[in-house]
């Protein structure tokens, strides 16, 4: 076994543990001998480990530990801690925005603009049917973005020891029969990440033009609207246009009757206004407001199954919040992908063998061992190659039925909402044997609409209500 560090070849000692993980940077250790005249390796150097011409590992030297020197006659045996090339993705901070792009198109752009610059060549990117209306990020870790894109379609990414980048879905995995000579076969059934209801909250979105009316009450000084105000088109009192302005700015202007504040759903009557509504007057506002995107999807089949087993409601609810989601389609896609990803129990197999070829990361094993309750397809997500006697090694593996990242189960995105709107707009859907959806969308409170006149520069409020015919310009 040889170890090449920054272009210089060193001999490996008989102690090493080479670890490979799916979709995350892995840490390995190896002892090397520094011969007379050779320089001591430095951290952040490139490192390639080969055995009889087969590349077992490539990555970066994380740290170098020297032997304990006493008399100066010691063998110069240094212990290296290594990280795989996925570590580079954690080093890069990126910003970008995409509109109407498929997952594979976004990944290709990430490779072209960021990954290829690190000396990594392209292996393969699986074609995806998922399209994002909007996908954007600002000052985010490249690793976080790759993980999010992979999670949405249950894909995986990794860099091979040959420094090739892959972003692939399950149908691209190599399927083999479980190798001979596998020992220590053990399975663990874990339900920690299962969920039956997924709530996705996105950004606050601007409504279309909203028209609301009220009949003014005696001593009334404020008016609560259905939405937080984004912008105001105009007010009328009994069909006559009334002045309006910003609260805290136009309070002293007597021509301003109504005051509003962006982000607030409260309209205030200007106490110093010349024109004020009298008791019983019909006051109308045309404005644009905010609403929050909220999607709630459920897996009824799984919920009923858990209910029967546990004697509970079967409800396991999770909330995912991401302000970069600014439309229903992307929110619903995210909710469905999370339900599918966490829609079954995770089963993890651990075992040992000496088959190097069939234990490569993302090799899928077909296992048929009903005698020990292990039947199905399991994917290699982690392997550790360790020294086993002179010139031999032993391989320990972990395989999963789902969640092919070794970092599976971590919270990847914890964006918190900055605004809590008074009115939320919900979209509910059910997945299972059949899919149905019920929408409750933004509504016009009084059934009123606003039509810009255009050439005259005025605004006509066509309400369909008797006795409401405003005139003039605003």
Q: φ and ψ at 90, to 5 degrees?
A: -80, -15
The span from the CA of 433 to the CA of 201, in Å, is 25
pLDDT in tens, 379-399: 898 899 887 766 678 899 999
* Other C-beta atoms lying within 10 Å of the C-beta of residue 188: 11
pTM comes to 0.60
Give me the chain's average pLDDT, please. Answer: 80
Q: Would you say 66 and 60 are in contact if contact means Cβ atoms under 8 Å apart?
A: no
Nearest Cα residue to 63 out of 38, 87, 90, 99: 87
- H helix or E strand, kind and range, residue 98: strand 93-102
For helices 142-152 and 328-341, the axis angle rounded to 10 degrees is 80
The span from the CA of 381 to the CA of 359, in Å, is 9
Q: Please report the DSSP string for 308-326 in residue order.
A: HHHSS----EEEEE-TT--
Overall average pLDDT of the 207-211 stretch: 85
> 3-class DSSP state for residue 270?
coil
Nearest Cα residue to 84 out of 55, 106, 104: 55
Overall average pLDDT of the 134-147 stretch: 90
Of the two residues 159 and 417, the one the predictor is more confident about is 159
> 3-class DSSP state for residue 295?
strand
The span from the CA of 17 to the CA of 295, in Å, is 46
Domain extents in the chain:
2-84, 92-172, 174-207+286-474, 208-285
Q: Is the pLDDT of residue 72 over 80?
A: no
Q: Would you say 433 and 258 are in contact if contact means Cβ atoms under 8 Å apart?
A: no
Of the two residues 136 and 464, the one the predictor is more confident about is 136
pLDDT (0 to 100) of residue 243: 94
The band of 47, judged by pLDDT with boundaries at 50, 70 and 90, is very high
Overall average pLDDT of the 51-77 stretch: 82
CA distances (Å), origin 234, targets 240, 257, 266, 459: 11, 11, 15, 8
Task: Report the C-alpha dihedral over residues 208, 100, 415, 338, rounded to 10 degrees.
Answer: 110
pLDDT in tens, 21-41: 877 788 899 999 998 889 999
pLDDT (0 to 100) of residue 56: 84
pLDDT (0 to 100) of residue 465: 40
Q: What is the DSSP letter of 41?
A: P
The span from the CA of 366 to the CA of 175, in Å, is 7
pLDDT (0 to 100) of residue 242: 94
pLDDT in tens, 341-354: 787 777 889 999 98
CATH fold of the domain at 92-172? Phage tail protein beta-alpha-beta fold (3.55.50)
Q: Would you say 143 and 182 are in contact if contact means Cβ atoms under 8 Å apart?
A: no
CATH fold of the domain at 2-84? Pnp Oxidase; Chain A (2.30.110)
The band of 156, judged by pLDDT with boundaries at 50, 70 and 90, is confident
């Amino acid at each position: 076994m040889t170890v090449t560090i920054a272009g210089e070849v060193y001999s490996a000692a008989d102690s090493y543990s080479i670890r490979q993980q799916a979709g995350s940077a892995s840490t390995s250790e190896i002892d090397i001998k520094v011969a007379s005249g050779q320089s001591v390796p430095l951290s952040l150097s490139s490192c390639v480990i080969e055995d009889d011409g087969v590349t077992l590992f490539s990555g970066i030297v994380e740290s170098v530990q020297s032997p304990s020197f006493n008399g100066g006659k010691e063998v110069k045996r240094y212990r290296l801690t290594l990280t795989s090339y996925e570590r580079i993705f954690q080093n890069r901070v990126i910003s970008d925005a995409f509109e109407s792009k498929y997952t594979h198109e976004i990944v290709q752009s990430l490779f072209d603009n960021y990954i290829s610059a690190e000396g990594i060549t392209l292996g393969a990117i699986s074609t995806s049917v998922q399209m994002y209306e909007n996908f954007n990020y600002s000052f985010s870790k490249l690793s976080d973005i790759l993980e999010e894109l992979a999670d949405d379609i249950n894909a995986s990414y990794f860099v091979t020891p040959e420094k090739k980048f892959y972003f692939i879905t399950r149908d691209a995995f190599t399927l083999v029969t479980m190798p001979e000579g596998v020992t220590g076969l053990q399975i663990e059934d874990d339900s920690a990440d299962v969920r039956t209801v997924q709530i996705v909250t996105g950004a606050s979105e601007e409504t279309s033009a909203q028209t609301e009316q009220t009949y003014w009450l005696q001593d009334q000084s404020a008016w609560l609207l259905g939405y937080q105000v984004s912008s105001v088109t105009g007010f009328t009192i009994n069909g006559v246009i009334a002045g309006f302005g910003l609260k805290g700015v136009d309070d002293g202007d007597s021509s301003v009757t109504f005051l509003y504040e962006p982000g607030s759903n409260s309209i205030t009557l200007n106490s110093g206004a010349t024109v004020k509504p009298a008791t019983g007057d019909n006051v109308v506002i045309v404005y644009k407001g905010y609403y929050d995107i909220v999607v709630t999807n459920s897996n009824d089949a799984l919920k009923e199954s858990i209910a029967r087993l546990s004697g509970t409601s079967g409800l396991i609810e999770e909330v995912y919040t991401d302000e970069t989601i600014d439309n229903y389609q992307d929110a619903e896609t995210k909710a469905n992908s999370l339900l599918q990803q966490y829609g079954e129990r995770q089963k993890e197999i651990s075992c040992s063998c000496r088959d190097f070829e069939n234990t490569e990361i993302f090799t899928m094993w077909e296992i048929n061992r009903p005698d020990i309750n292990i039947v199905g397809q399991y994917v290699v997500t982690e392997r550790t190659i360790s020294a086993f006697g002179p010139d031999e090694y032993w391989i320990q593996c972990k395989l999963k039925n789902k969640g092919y990242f070794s970092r599976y189960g971590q919270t990847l995105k914890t964006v918190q909402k900055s605004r809590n709107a008074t009115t939320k707009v919900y979209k509910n859907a059910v997945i299972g044997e059949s899919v149905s959806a019920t929408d409750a969308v933004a509504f016009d409170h009084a059934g009123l609409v606003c039509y810009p006149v255009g050439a005259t520069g005025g605004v006509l409020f066509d309400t369909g209500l008797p006795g409401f015919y405003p005139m003039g310009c605003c």
